[in-house]
Amino acid sequence: MAENHNGDGRGRARRTLEDYAAFTGTINFNSIARPMVNATNMEIKPALIHLVQSNQFNGLAHENPYTHLATFLEICNTVKIHQVPDEAIRLSLFPFSLAGNSKVWLNSFPENNLTSWEDVVAKFLSKYFPQSKINKGKQEISAVQQDVDESLGQAWDRFKGMLRKTPIHGFDEPTQLTIFLARLKS
């Protein structure tokens, strides 16, 4: 940079427009903090990453975040790395399980903001299974009706599917049974 002497004898660095336009802040690359691992070598095989990526969650309205987490955990539970906690494996792989809007959502957190698996799950479910979805699921469960041509077994299976679709519905087993029995056709 050129020095500018303005007549008072003090030299001052002159800044150009390019200097003002240059980015000087930190860049957010990973919102999930890298877990501390005492293992001498933590290597996640490319095949495992590919398997996780083949079951990505995009954040679309028809996708169930609970189903995504269950599948993700099934995959993670197939691998054990010596001296590496399961949480470290989950935190390392979770970003690979997201795509589209959900990947944008994950990257919207400040760098190293998410530090535990429980924190990731809580924020993920808060975003993709908000209270409004819970309320809608509870209403559907409460309003279930056996269809005219539906057998008792088919109605029960459909009802259990509704319960699985909203796993935090809050109905205990006796209440579930009461709801179901009250809605059977005569």
pLDDT in tens, 108-156: 999 999 999 999 999 999 999 988 888 998 999 999 999 989 999 999 9
111 shares a domain with 50: yes
60 and 71, same domain (yes or no): yes
The better pLDDT of the pair 123, 170 is held by: 123
d(CA 126, CA 13): 50
Confidence (pLDDT) at 15: 75
Q: What is the mean pLDDT of residues 56-76?
A: 95
Decide if pLDDT at 101 tops 90.
yes
Q: What is the arithmetic mean of pLDDT over 175-180?
A: 92
Domain co-membership, 169 together with 125: no
Of 106, 98, 145, 142, nearest to 123 by C-alpha is 106
> Is 163 inside any structural domain?
yes
Flag whether 32 is in a domain. Answer: no
Kindly report, residue by residue over 37-54, the tens digit of the pLDDT. 887 777 889 999 999 999
Residue 18 is predicted with a pLDDT of 73
Mean pLDDT of the chain: 87
Q: Is residue 94 part of a domain?
A: yes
Based on the domain organization, do 107 and 119 belong to the same domain? Answer: yes
DSSP 129: S
Asked whether residue 65 is domain-assigned, the answer is: yes
Please give the C-alpha separations between residue 60 and each of 4, 63, 68, in angstroms, as whole numbers: 57, 6, 12
CA 12 to chain centre: 51
Domain end among 113, 129, 145: 129
| 54 and 123 fall within a common domain | yes
Q: Which residues, 6 or more positions from 34, have their beta carbon under 8 angstroms from its beta carbon?
A: 91, 92, 112
Q: Which domain holds residue 53?
A: 46-129
| Overall domain count for the chain | 2
User: Which among 93, 113, 129 is the end of a domain?
Assistant: 129
C-alpha 113/C-alpha 151 separation (Å) is 50
Question: Largest alpha-carbon pair distance within the chain?
Answer: 100
